Amino acid sequence: MPETLSALSADLAAGRIRSEALTEAAVARARDPDGEGARVFVAHAGDRALAAARASDALRAAGAARSPLEGLPISVKDLFDIAGETTRAGSVVLSDAPPAARHATIVARLIAAGAVLVGRTNMTEFAYSGLGLNPHYGTPLNPYDRATGRIPGGSSSGAAVSVTDGMAAAAIGTDTGGSVRIPAALCGLAGFKPTARRVPARGTLPLSTSLDSIGPLAPSVACCALLDAVLSGDEREAPEPADLRGLRLAVPTTLVLDGVDETVGAAFRAALSALSAAGAVVTEIAVPEFAGLARINTHGGLPGAEAWAWHRALIARDGARYDPRVRLRIERGAAMVAADYVDVLHARTAWIADVERRIAPFDALVLPTVPVVAPPLAPLVADDGLYGAANVLILRNPTLINFLDGCALSVPCHAPGTAPVGLMIAGAGGTDRRILAIGMAVETALAATR
């Protein structure tokens, strides 16, 4: 597991390492021809990153460190505007688009906090898949079982591998239907999807404006909390770990456990046992609304309509250059009429209210982030049907929380040396700090059993 942000920050503060050396090491790993860097990054910050690191070292030496992120190398997904650069969203279609005139809000906040941006990470084209495949720039391989060659998860694929492989201390991604939590779960990291409105999306290329959220992938929940505070502008003290004793955790039995493979099932059951042993009250509950979501999204749902609205002119002009699998999903939104879209908006409001009433007696939901371990890449490249089925299954659980307008963490719950498995801890919208506090406690309880 990579070092935590707090450990790296302590090393910098004590003078045991300099940001320049930390950044040089990250850049070297990214440029190693024998590594995944060529598929992880679509653009390197290069000399600008090293210059920023040297400036950070000078500020720290002068006693003017700007935040706990000071001098730490961070990667950002290729959806965020960086002034003077073209945001391509993992596509070749936008290669000739004009460079951004100013930073995205979250980029500006990271820079103001002293983070060193090391590059833009690869992703599923236009963020429209949970698998992480990209035919234009390649697909970075999952750090687990590279001999087989497994998917990293998506759409924030490069973000996850940039952290696991030491090319960045942490990464910033987006999550519309699981695109932070899925790669975090499949690659053995912590990943946090905040309530969508918590982090400003200005300067972020959209997939679905109703569902898009921005969050971190990092070595630990505490790292995610630190990054979330910067991204959201939350100036309060970081939340303290919750007390698991008496904490009420609900395990939904509707839909989310269907199709769980043997590895995920065993890791999930072991995690629940560990939480019960730590004093949490774990209760199974039916959430019939989860089973009704497919009906609400019959015509493609919010992503279909909102992605088509953004892409229709671009597809008309340059559709042949899209990843065909991504283009197919976007074009399905063309069949939705305005009344269908309004129906989904109204149904979502009622659905959220029903789910929130059902989960109100509990402190959080716990469920597998993804019901299967990372599948091999090659069969998904070769078979459209297999790709589609895997995409639906892997997106299924995380998508529920996006539609809820909720917040959620994915925390590793697998045994060391085994395939990564994520435990999702989720809550209603606006409970972000509480979910982060619970996540820290859960992480500690699970670590004690390994």
Show pLDDT as tens, one digit a residue, over the chain (450 residues): 799 999 999 999 999 999 999 999 999 999 999 999 999 999 999 899 999 999 999 999 999 999 999 999 999 999 999 999 999 999 999 999 999 999 999 999 999 999 999 999 999 999 999 999 999 999 999 999 999 999 999 999 999 999 999 999 999 999 999 999 999 999 999 999 999 999 999 999 999 999 999 999 999 999 999 999 999 999 998 899 999 999 999 999 999 999 999 999 999 999 999 999 999 999 999 999 999 999 999 988 999 999 999 999 999 999 999 999 999 999 999 999 999 999 999 999 999 999 999 999 999 999 999 999 999 999 999 999 999 999 999 999 999 999 999 999 999 999 999 999 999 999 999 999 999 999 999 999 999 887
Distance CA 234, CA 230 (A): 7
pLDDT at 300: 87
Q: Which two tokens stand for residue 286?
A: 């039916």
Distance CA 237, CA 285 (A): 34
Using DSSP bridges, classify how beta strands 422-427 and 364-368 pair: parallel, antiparallel or unpaired: antiparallel
Question: How do the domains of the chain map onto residue ranges?
Answer: 5-232, 248-447
Stated pTM of the model: 0.98
Provide CATH code, domain 248-447: 3.90.1300.10
Q: Which two tokens stand for residue 178?
A: 């699981």
Name the residue type at position 112. Answer: A
Q: Which residues are catalytic?
A: 77, 155, 179
CA geometry: angle at 427 spanning 426 and 430, to 5°?
130
- Helices and strands in the chain: count of H runs, count of E runs: 16, 11
Topology at the third CATH level for domain 5-232: Amidase signature (AS) enzymes (3.90.1300)
Please spell the DSSP secondary structure of 178-232, one letter per residue.
Answer: STTHHHHHHHT-EEEE--GGGS--TTB--S-TTT-EEEEEESSHHHHHHHHHHHH
Quick check: 160 and 75 in contact, CB under 8 A?
Answer: no
Same fold? 5-232, 248-447: yes
Distance CA 1, CA 281 (A): 29
